[in-house]
């Protein structure tokens, strides 16, 4: 038997094969059918591949309980692995490495598997997921290139290649790959996502809105992350244009409320609400519901990038007990030198977290100092440049509140290179130039705001 991309599958009946295909396609296209693998795996204990996929799916929850949920499927996969193909055995081993937190070894395995089996889209996506999370964007691109020419006919391979190029700031190559994906499948949401980044980086806000609105109807039935995240990108453009009603509607209907317990939905909501606040947009009581769900995570340090955003959200409430719990967990995690990402936690995430706490406590000077230490290396904690921009904006807010208008002017003019007509940005520039005693430049910034 073979899967939907022609790769051999052992130990599966028709039902198990359908579960495998649902996972493969659902995983790379962000469709909810990926979860069908769980029930199918329970009915196929002797199929190594489907149980490895079920374990991987649980690990993608990005929650402390994930290894416990993945363990039974991983055990079944390993028991069946001796009768599986080498590719399937590699997938089982990948699930084990993911479960055990051996991420460098997992990345190397994914890349080697793609080199040998370029149509294995799960291992390609998994490799990109982990290289993205440690900020190794050249590796993210390199893994994607290993799929060609073997996966030339697979739209999603081009979409993943596009995002690898984009995160390496190779925008022309990224756009070509994304457009190639859309010629094969106009509804590839990851290609849409890569193009959203390209429009953002080029400062083409109007073009980004026109494009994303033209494909937004194809996101309706995607999983909560992809639907909410692509709408999150569209919301950033609405903020730039000062479209307050549109961005609040996008938040209420597409960003928050799809899967309130999921990590990515929570940080998407936190980061968008923060940006709305910084842009001077009244968010009403929207923080309360998000913070209530984030607080339930407790001492969650699965990912430094996610944890920092949880921490910022918790700082938006007067009850700091949950923030104190998470900050202690960050201190403990930073002190653990046994894991592959120790330096990211100790040297980057920790000062960033301390800066976020200082910001919450309105200690603006300390917030600017600590965040200034972390920002140059923040990519080591994961996230795209668009997502990491949240921490730049927290730092900028602290500069403004601290009265450091000279440094704020430098930051804002650099930001204007990719958001030239942004309404919130130019409003802040007008204030900064006024406070710096440069009324003519303040008037120019105010004119851009009005325009």
Residues 7 and 23 in one domain: yes
Tokens linked to 104: 């460098």
- 249: number of Cβ within 10 Å: 14
175, 208 in Cβ contact below 8 A? no
Q: Are 138 and 19 in a shared domain? A: yes
Mean pLDDT in residue range 76-93: 98
136 shares a domain with 215? no
Q: Residue 401 pLDDT > 90, yes or no?
A: yes
Last residue of a domain, one of 196, 222, 248: 222
Phi (first) and psi of residue 66, to 5 degrees: -55, -50
Q: Is residue 91 part of a domain?
A: yes
| CA pair distance 432, 442, nearest whole angstrom | 7
Q: Is the dihedral of CA 308, 54, 167, 277 positive or negative?
A: negative
274 lies in a domain? no
Residue 319 has pLDDT above 90, yes or no: no
Same domain? For 121 and 141 the reply is yes
Tell me whether residue 321 is exposed, middle or buried, using C-beta atoms within 10 angstroms of its C-beta: 0 to 12, 13 to 18, 19 or more.
exposed
Residues above pLDDT 90, as percent of the chain: 99
- How confident is the model over 238-275, as pLDDT tens digits? 999 999 999 999 999 999 999 999 999 999 999 999 99
Q: What are phi and psi of 8, to 5 degrees?
A: -60, 145
276-303 pLDDT per residue, tens = 999 999 999 999 999 999 999 999 999 9
Same domain, 195 and 84: no
Say whether both 186 and 162 belong to one domain.
yes
For residue 27, give its domain range. 1-149
What are the structure tokens assigned to 229, written together? 């995240």
pLDDT attached to residue 451: 82
pLDDT tens readout for residues 404-423:
999 999 999 999 999 999 99
pLDDT at 246: 98
Over the range 252-283, which residues count as b (16 or more CB within 10 Å of their CB) and which as e?
eebbbebebebbbbbbbbbbbbbbbebbebee
The per-residue pLDDT for range 7-47, each reduced to its tens digit, is: 999 999 999 999 999 999 999 999 999 999 999 999 999 99
Evaluate whether residue 30 is within a structural domain. yes
Q: Domain count for the chain, please give it.
A: 2
Tell me which DSSP letter residue 285 carries: T
Q: Give the residues across from 8 on adjacent strands.
A: 2
Q: Are residues 175 and 109 in the same domain?
A: no
pLDDT-derived band of residue 201, with 50, 70 and 90 as boundaries?
Answer: very high
Decide if 112 contacts 104 (C-beta within 8 A): no
List, as one string, the DSSP characters of 419-435. -TT-HHHHHHHHHHHHH
Q: What is the mean pLDDT of residues 369-394?
A: 97
pLDDT over 90 (residue 434): yes
Domain stops at, among 222, 244, 263:
222
301 three-state secondary structure: coil
pLDDT at position 399, please?
98
Q: What b-and-e string marks burial along 359-388, b requiring 16 or more CB atoms within 10 Å of the CB?
A: bbeebbebbbbbbebbbebbbbbbbbbbbb
On whether both 189 and 140 belong to a single domain, the answer is: no
Return the closest-CA partner of residue 274 out of 392, 399, 431.
Answer: 392
Where does a domain end: 200, 222, 244? 222
Instruction: Give the mean model confidence (pLDDT) for residues 70-94.
Output: 98
Task: For residues 115 and 137, give the distance between their C-alpha atoms in angstroms, rounded to a whole number.
Answer: 18
Examine the domain organization and report whether 2 and 142 are in the same domain.
Answer: yes
Half-sphere exposure of 269 (CA within 13 A, CB side): 31
> Is 195 found in the same domain as 91?
no
Report if residue 379 sits inside a domain: no
Please tell me the predicted confidence (pLDDT) of residue 320: 87
Tell me whether residue 298 is in a domain.
no
186: CATH: 1.25.40
**118 in the same domain as 32:** yes
Q: What is the pLDDT of residue 318?
A: 81
The helix or strand, by DSSP H or E, that contains position 223, with its residue range, turns out to be: none
**pLDDT by residue (tens digit) across 168-183?**
999 999 999 999 999 9
Find tokens 């920002």 and name the residue. Answer: 375
Q: Two tokens at 161?
A: 């290649």
Residue 187 covered by a domain:
yes
Q: Is the pLDDT of residue 450 over 90?
A: no
Residue 364 lies in a domain: no
**In terms of domains, do 138 and 45 share one?**
yes
Residue 73: per-residue pLDDT: 98
Residue 184 has pLDDT above 90, yes or no: yes
d(CA 349, CA 307): 9
Vertex 242, ends 238 and 243: CA angle to 5°?
A: 55
Confidence of residue 317 (pLDDT cuts 50, 70, 90): confident
Residue 420 counted as domain residue:
no
| Cα distance between residue 182 and residue 172, in whole Å | 15
């Amino acid at each position: 038997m073979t899967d939907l991309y022609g790769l051999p599958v052992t130990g599966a009946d028709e039902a198990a094969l359908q579960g495998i295909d649902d996972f493969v396609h659902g995983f790379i296209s962000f469709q909810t059918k990926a979860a069908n693998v769980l029930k199918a795996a329970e009915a196929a204990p002797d199929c190594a591949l489907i149980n490895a996929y079920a374990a991987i799916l649980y690990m993608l929850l990005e929650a402390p309980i994930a290894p416990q949920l993945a363990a039974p499927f991983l055990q079944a996969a390993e028991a069946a692995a001796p009768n599986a193909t080498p590719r399937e055995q590699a997938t089982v081993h990948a699930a084990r490495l993911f479960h055990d937190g051996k991420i460098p070894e997992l990345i190397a395995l994914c890349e080697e598997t793609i080199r040998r089996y370029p149509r294995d889209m799960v291992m390609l996506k998994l490799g990109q997921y982990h290289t993205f999370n440690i900020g190794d964007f050249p590796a993210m691109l390199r893994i994607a290139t290993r799929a060609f020419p073997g996966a030339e006919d697979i739209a999603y391979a081009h979409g993943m290649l596009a995002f690898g190029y984009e995160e390496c700031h190779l925008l022309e190559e990224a756009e070509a790959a994304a457009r190639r994906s859309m010629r094969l499948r106009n509804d590839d949401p990851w290609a849409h996502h890569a193009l959203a980044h390209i429009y953002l980086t080029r400062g083409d806000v109007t073009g980004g809105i026109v494009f994303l609105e033209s494909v937004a109807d194809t996101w309706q039935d995607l999983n909560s992350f992809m639907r909410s995240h692509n709408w999150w990108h569209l919301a950033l453009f609405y903020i730039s244009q000062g479209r307050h009603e549109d961005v609040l509607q996008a938040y209420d209907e597409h960003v928050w409320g799809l899967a309130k317990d999921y990590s990515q939905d929570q940080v998407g909501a936190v980061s968008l609400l923060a940006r709305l606040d910084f842009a001077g947009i009244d968010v009403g009581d929207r923080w309360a519901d998000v913070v209530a769900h984030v607080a339930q995570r407790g001492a969650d340090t699965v990912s430094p990038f996610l944890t920092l955003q949880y921490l910022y959200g918790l700082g938006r409430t007067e009850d700091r007990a949950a923030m104190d719990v998470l900050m202690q967990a960050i201190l403990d995690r930073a002190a653990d030198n046994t894991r592959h990402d120790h330096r990211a936690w100790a040297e980057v995430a920790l000062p960033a977290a301390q800066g976020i706490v200082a910001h919450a406590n309105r200690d603006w000077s300390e917030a600017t100092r600590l965040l200034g230490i972390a920002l140059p290396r923040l990519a080591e904690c994961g996230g795209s440049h668009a997502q990491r921009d949240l921490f730049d904006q927290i730092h900028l807010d602290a500069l403004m509140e601290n009265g450091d208008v000279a440094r704020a002017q430098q930051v804002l003019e650099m930001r204007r290179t990719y958001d030239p007509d942004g309404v919130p940005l130019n409003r802040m520039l007008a204030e900064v130039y006024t406070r710096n005693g440069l009324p003519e430049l303040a008037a120019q910034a105010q004119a851009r705001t009005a325009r």
